[in-house]
Amino acid sequence: MSPNFIISKISNAEYKEKSPVSITYGKLETKYGKSVLAFLEKQICFVSFGDDFNSGIKVLQTNFPTADFTCDDSIATSKIHYFDPNTTEDIKLILKGTEFEIMVWEYLLQIKEGTTVPYEEVAKGIGKPTAVRAVANAIGKNNIAFFIPCHRVISKTGDPGKYGWGRDRKLKMLADENVFF
């Protein structure tokens, strides 16, 4: 069982036009480390994992430079069940990026839990078979890691590769889906 994702999109240009936007974020402990979970218009716009909260907050502020931020840990802790793969609750996500990045992230949502695919397959899947490097760059800009499952993308050699929040976290996420390296 997987959650149902309700997707909204905002281009980088639309984000600039709307600025400043209000983003509420909270800090919570997850099995993947200290997490910052942020919401724009009551939709998840950012999630981080790390060994401390400050690094996640800095990345959030860098990725949404013109936003007004409010910290409310209760909003994040009330959503801890979102990190349970058995949740059946609808999860609202808002994707902020270029048209190409959003296309890549939407494709990642189609990768089934417990499976992995190489970058080349993602590129083919979006109809851009020669855009492997651009696909990798888009995956690296994913603000909603875990929910947009970039951890399921691996190298063509079968190596799990890098992960923005650390290779060990990627391996743990995959192990939680019964994928082992």
Query: Would you state the structure tokens that stand for residue 5, as one six-digit string?
Result: 């994702």
Q: What is the DSSP letter of 112?
A: P
71 is catalytic: no
Asked if 128 and 135 touch (Cβ cutoff 8 Å), the reply is yes
Instruction: Identify the active-site residue in 91, 135, 150, 153.
Output: 150
User: Which distant-in-sequence residues (6+ apart) come within 8 Å of 13 by Cβ?
Assistant: none
- Inter-helix orientation angle 132-140/99-108, to 10°: 80
Question: 44: closest CA among 16, 13, 3, 14?
Answer: 3
How far apart are alpha carbons 159 and 118 in whole angstroms?
9
* Catalytic residue numbers, as ranges: 150
